[in-house]
Structure 1
Amino acid sequence: MSRHRLVYFIFFTLLTFGCKQVAVTPHRSLGIFEQEHLILGNPSEATSDTINYNNFLMAKPQYVLSYSRDRGTPNWVSWHVNKDWLGSASRQNDFRADENLPTGWYRVNGSSYSRSGFDRGHNVPSADRTLSSEANSATFLMTNMVPQAPRNNQETWASLENYTRDLVEQGQEVYVIMGSYGAGGTGSNGTARTIDEGRVTVPSRIWKILLVLPEGQNDLSRVTVNTRVIAIDTPNMNTLNSNWRTYLTTVDAIEAVTGYDLLSSVPEDIQQVIEKRLDTVSTP
């Protein structure tokens, strides 16, 4: 049994036998999930203290995120994609509120985006978590969603997500961090800064970085100056080019606009090289 499958089995065994603290207090289990999904670091130094309500750390077996209570969306989501996560589970489509949000916080629900002109845009794609129905269902929590222009979501973003899984099928494993910033996007109903009666902010930009490694062990130690990193930053609009390569950028550029330290666990001398490099492998 692989390391990931063992961790996943332990988590759901505990949940089945009534250890509900594992499910409702993410910080108690952070060490387990952090080892896989936050291997590149905590970009915003998010914490699970409720006083940190706009940079609130939530750790799940399937991914780790920083949540903004006031925006009603994640700031960023970090996850690992390898063959252990890919299976034959079907798409669950059970969009729903995240009950692990602190008591008293507004919980964005599955209908909050209705008639807004924006898709419920996954950060962690459903198809990245097909190991089991439970793993797939976790991607439909609304803490994993941002209001995303339909063409951005269904064409440009979908193409990059498919490319990520193609890399995995070719013998790679990929560490992904995705986020959004700004306010004001253009969906099928026009431009909006917020939806759900002002409780959910529509981001103006959506970004993602992918760090690509050959399959192996001790992943962080295998990151070198030659490691491939793909970074894109797209406007959140419905007139987007469907070719995601149009929006290639650098990690340094995304850090400059977000204030995040996206590869903070990578040795500094390596960061300086790979964060400023524009990916050329991805160009047609």
Structure 2
Amino acid sequence: MSNMMPQAPRNNQQTWANLEDYCRSFLASGNELYIICGSYCKGGTGSNGYATTLDNGRVTVPAHCWKVVVILPTGSNDAARVSTNTRIIAVDTPNDNSLSTSWGTYRTSVNAIETSTGLDILSAVPISVQQVLESRIDSGPTN
């Protein structure tokens, strides 16, 4: 269960579902995707209201849910093929049932997610490429 987290229903069933459907569209055109995701901070608002934990304090409810999507043409030696032209979609949503269903509203930079989480997300990519990609906010289409 390491890939599970409590999410507001609207986030999971609509906003994330819309992003996941959009990501699937790349697969049919000869691409592969790396999707890295997680959460940070504590406290979200679902259909039962605000909570910081569930199950008598054994499960933390995150305040934010994020994803980073790396889109590459199908191939091998993937990290070496990531260039400054590679499309990276970084999304950071509040874990709140009142959020927009349009994932594009929540686009951000990889740098912002790294600052919030303390992670080094694209660490296998050459540093000169990381510096360009991680500071960029995707402005491509959302459907």
Q: Give me the TM-score of the superposition, normalised by structure 2.
A: 0.96
- 2:136 maps to 277
Higher-Rg member (1/2): 1
- 2:58 maps to 199
CA distance in 1, matches of 2:48, 2:76: 47
Q: 1:242 aligns with which of 101, 106, 121?
A: 101
Could you list the per-position Cα deviations for residues 195-218 of structure 1 after superposition, in whole angstroms to 9, with x for gaps in the alignment? 000000000000000011011122
Q: Does 1:187 align with 2:40?
A: no
Unaligned ranges ≥5, structure 2 = none
Q: How much has 1:219 moved relative to structure 2?
A: 1.3
Q: Does 1:146 align with 2:5?
A: yes
CA distance in 1, matches of 2:68, 2:3: 16
- 1:231 maps to 90
Letter in 1 for 2:78: D
How many residue pairs get aligned? The number is: 143
Could you list the per-position Cα deviations for residues 92-148 of structure 1 after superposition, in whole angstroms to 9, with x for gaps in the alignment? xxxxxxxxxxxxxxxxxxxxxxxxxxxxxxxxxxxxxxxxxxxxxxxxxx2221000
- 2:33 maps to 174
CA distance in 1, matches of 2:77, 2:57: 44
- 1:18 maps to none
Unaligned ranges ≥5, structure 1 = 1-141
SS of structure 2 residue aligned to 1:148: coil
Q: How does 1:21-100 map to 2 (within 5 A)?
A: none
Q: Give me the TM-score of the superposition, normalised by structure 1.
A: 0.49
CA distance in 2, matches of 1:243, 1:169: 22
Runs of 4+ in 1 over 6 A off after TM superposition: none
Which structure has more relative contact order (CA 8 Å, sep 6+)? It is: 2
RMSD of aligned alpha carbons = 1.1
